[in-house]
């Protein structure tokens, strides 16, 4: 690849087109690889002021990501430092799962949902096998290619870059997929965090709207407990030792089976096992893929037959066919930063309207803790965030405002006579 041989030369290789969006780490451009004519997506990662460009450790990590080759993982084609920023070149993808879920013109059959979640789990299984955690699983990180292939994106970037101080919507969106152990501030976590997030995505495919929409970390735990019932020590023995653990008032489980009335028994069984409280008892991705849900009828839809939004229309000056390799590349000045460009997205009006109507506060649910059979494989927990001199990632812990609020709330609760 020669990514560090000559940053200027490599940078001149790509012809920048329009901004595709702005993500956690920086702006993403559409671009043409002038060597191959291939359309690519370039993620420009802000690495702050560095005297000597991009840290070698980061490049080494990026090189590792390049080895993560799987049909359900976005391909990192190239990586190079340029003007103090790191540029990551990925295969170009037409849309993402969030756009599919939110498009009310799209009807997702049980077989379609099975296919999307199976591809998600296959991508995750590959990475867990290679000892890499995603740590930022959410529908808009699941990109969809022209042949309907779903691919995990941003995989491993959290490991390399940590999570920058996210504000506003990013933080909100990410929170909804956070596992309870993260919300309780665990410092040691494993592949179970990705399984929980995948369960949230599975639920979202079924409901056609995000399942657990907390407005703060405290509220997120509240939403989780309201859905599954407050975990008991027998369900999750290690819970009380977690750094930010606070006792919640007991809430009984809600009528989750009713809320997921559209799910088959197999789908609901798998979902419950993925939503197991104790990360040690939570089903692993590999076990999830071996669940009978994936072999029982209906079988998963072939990716190229999956319903998805029409690809974004390209502006007349951005077609790959406009590119003439003989003219040589022109590196355009970077466009203004913009938020995500998502012309296809429409308001929530899923094909599961019944989900809002059922009473989810009565009856019983099966919290699957203790049901799953074996433990997840161990995964290295320590991550070097010293690259770029960046401060450690903003781990999803309860912030001080939340904590004060919670303490006040608990005091009030405790003041009431038994
Ligand atoms: P991210 O930093 O991954 O959240 O990316 C920000 C936005 O850029 C996404 O919401 C997508 O719209 C777009 N994007 C990222 N990666 C790609 C890709 N490989 N192909 C097409 N668009 C992408």
Annotated active-site positions, please? 136
Q: How many helices and strands in the chain, by DSSP H and E?
A: 13, 8
For the whole prediction, is pTM greater than 0.75?
no
Residue 367: pLDDT band (50, 70, 90) is: very low
pLDDT for the residue 313: 55
pLDDT tens for 68-87 read 899 999 999 998 888 778 88
CB 260, CB 203: distance < 8 Å? yes
Is the distance from the beta carbon of residue 158 to the nearest atom of ligand 1 less than 6 Å? no
In this structure, what are the phi and psi dihedrals at residue 401, rounded to the nearest 5 degrees?
A: -65, -45
Is the distance from the beta carbon of residue 29 to the nearest atom of ligand 1 less than 6 Å? no
State the DSSP string of 365-376: ----TTTS-SPP
Residue closest by Cα to atom 19 of ligand 1? 92
pLDDT tens for 28-61 read 999 999 999 999 999 888 776 555 555 666 667 6
Question: How far is it, in rounded angstroms, from Cα 274 to Cα 92?
Answer: 31
| Nearest atom (ligand 1) to Cα of 74 | 19
Distance (Å) from CA 337 to ligand 1 centroid: 14
Residue closest by Cα to atom 8 of ligand 1? 21
Domains present along the chain, CATH in parentheses: 2-94+312-348+362-408 (3.30.200.20), 96-305 (1.10.510.10)
Distance (Å) from CA 88 to ligand 1 centroid: 11
The better pLDDT of the pair 161, 331 is held by 161
Is the distance from the beta carbon of residue 90 to the nearest atom of ligand 1 less than 6 Å? yes
pLDDT for the residue 80: 83
Distance (Å) from CA 23 to ligand 1 centroid: 7
pLDDT tens for 230-259 read 999 999 999 999 999 999 999 999 999 999
pLDDT for the residue 241: 96
Distance (Å) from CA 20 to ligand 1 centroid: 6
Q: Over 80: is that where the pLDDT of 218 sits? A: yes
Residue 363 is assigned to a ligand binding site: no
**Residue 144: which residues within 8 A CB-CB, separation 6 or more?**
93, 94, 95, 96, 97, 99, 100, 150, 151, 306, 308
């Amino acid at each position: 690849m020669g990514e560090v041989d000559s940053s200027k030369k490599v940078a001149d290789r790509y012809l920048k087109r329009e901004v595709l969006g702005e993500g956690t780490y920086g702006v993403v451009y559409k671009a043409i690889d002038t060597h191959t004519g291939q359309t690519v997506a370039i993620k420009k990662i802000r690495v702050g002021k560095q005297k000597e460009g991009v840290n070698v450790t980061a490049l080494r990590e990026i090189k590792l990501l390049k080895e993560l080759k799987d049909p359900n993982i976005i391909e990192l084609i190239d990586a190079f430092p340029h003007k103090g920023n790191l540029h990551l070149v990925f295969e170009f993808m037409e849309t993402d799962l969030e756009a599919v879920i939110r498009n009310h013109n799209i009807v997702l059959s049980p077989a379609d949902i099975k296919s999307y979640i199976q591809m998600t789990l296959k991508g995750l299984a590959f990475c867990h096998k290679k000892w890499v955690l995603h740590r930022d699983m959410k529908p808009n990180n699941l990109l969809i290619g022209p042949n309907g292939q779903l691919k995990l994106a941003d995989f491993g970037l959290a490991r390399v870059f940590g999570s920058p101080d996210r504000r506003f919507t990013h933080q909100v969106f990410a929170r909804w997929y956070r596992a309870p152990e993260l919300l309780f501030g665990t410092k040691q976590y494993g592949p179970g965090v990705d399984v929980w997030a995948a369960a949230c995505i599975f639920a979202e495919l079924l409901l056609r709207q995000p399942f657990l929409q907390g407005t703060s970390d405290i509220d997120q735990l509240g939403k989780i407990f309201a859905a599954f019932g407050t975990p008991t020590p027998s369900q999750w023995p290690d819970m009380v030792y977690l750094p930010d653990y606070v006792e919640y008032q007991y809430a009984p489980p809600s009528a989750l089976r009713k809320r997921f009335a559209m799910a088959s028994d197999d789908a609901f069984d798998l979902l419950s096992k993925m939503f197991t409280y104790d990360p040690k008892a939570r089903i692993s991705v590999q076990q999830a893929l071996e669940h009978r849900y994936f072999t029982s009828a209906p079988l998963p839809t072939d990716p190229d037959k999956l319903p998805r939004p029409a690809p974004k229309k390209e502006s007349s000056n951005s077609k790959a066919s406009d590119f003439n390799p003989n003219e040589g590349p022109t590196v355009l000045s970077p466009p203004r930063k913009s938020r995500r460009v998502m012309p296809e997205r429409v308001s929530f009006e899923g094909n599961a309207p019944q989900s809002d109507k059922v009473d989810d506060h009565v009856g019983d649910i099966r919290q699957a803790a203790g049901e799953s059979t074996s433990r997840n494989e161990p995964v290295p927990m320590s991550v070097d965030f010293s690259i770029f001199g960046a401060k450690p990632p903003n781990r999803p812990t309860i912030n001080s405002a939340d904590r004060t609020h919670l303490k006040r709330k608990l005091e009030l609760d405790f003041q009431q006579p038994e």
